[in-house]
Amino acid sequence: MILVNSSDGNFRLIIFMRIKMNFIREAESTEWTIFEKSNFEKKFNTVINDKWASSLAIMTLTKNKRAYLDFRFSFTNMSSAFPPSHWSITVRKIPKRYEGYQSLVTPSRRTAELDNQDFDLERKIRGTYQRGVVHEFGHLLGYDDEYRAGSKYYTDVNSIMNAGETIRQRHRSHYMTWLSMTLKAKKIN
């Protein structure tokens, strides 16, 4: 993470991730083209920033200054060993309406498994819709599933870590703590 002062006097919290991508296919699918791989990475960047960062300020400071969030990604392929990645993501190319696969993140191994349909809105429970990629990205940030029985937020079905796409203040806690400490250390309020 890095905090930069923009030319307009506002601040931007940049969260940088180096992601190693491994594009594979299911037997019924064609190989990934270079265009499809590039398009997936661009779409990942756009969708994550549109949903998780948005154009809204994450903090208002004095003198009408604000802090904004921005995710930056550096994508490498699986054959590249250096520099080391923060996350390794396997992306499967699957046929439409393929039922045999579920996206997931394994934080202890810093790995994720996605598929080419994770940008599509999927109907969940009680009228909610969610794109797999935005939910799984929450796990990359360190947040747990909220749809599991026993979760404190089990009934909040609209939550991005449950079955919807609404980002709550609790989904900003990891980087907001760092931002607050950094602003205080730099005597910025």
**How many domains does one find in the chain?**
1
- Residue 134 placed within a domain: yes
Q: For position 95, what pLDDT does the model report? A: 86
- Tokens 């154009």 locate to 55
Q: For position 126, what pLDDT does the model report? A: 81
Read off the CATH number of the domain in which 150 is found. Answer: 3.40.390
Judge whether residue 81 has pLDDT over 80.
Answer: no
Judge whether residue 162 has pLDDT over 80.
Answer: yes
CB 172 within 8 A of CB 141: no
- Residue 186 placed within a domain: no
- Residue 55 placed within a domain: yes
Q: For position 188, what pLDDT does the model report? A: 87
End-to-end CA distance of the chain: 19
Judge whether residue 83 has pLDDT over 80.
Answer: no
- Residue 120 placed within a domain: yes
- Residue 40 placed within a domain: yes
- Residue 187 placed within a domain: no
Q: How confident is the model at residue 54 (pLDDT cuts 50, 70, 90)?
A: confident
Q: For position 154, what pLDDT does the model report? A: 95
Q: For position 55, what pLDDT does the model report? A: 84
Task: Determine what percent of the chain is predicted with pLDDT higher than 90.
Answer: 80
Judge whether residue 164 has pLDDT over 80.
Answer: yes
Q: What is the average pLDDT value for the chain, to the nearest integer?
A: 92
Closest CA to 89 of 71, 79, 72, 77: 77
- Work out the average pLDDT over 134-146: 97
> For residue 111, what are the domain limits?
2-181
Q: Which one is predicted more confidently, 42 or 26?
A: 42
- Residue 188 placed within a domain: no
Total-model pTM: 0.92
Judge whether residue 63 has pLDDT over 90.
Answer: no
- Residue 77 placed within a domain: yes
Q: For position 79, what pLDDT does the model report? A: 61
CB 133 within 8 A of CB 165: no
- Work out the average pLDDT over 156-182: 95
Judge whether residue 80 has pLDDT over 60.
Answer: no
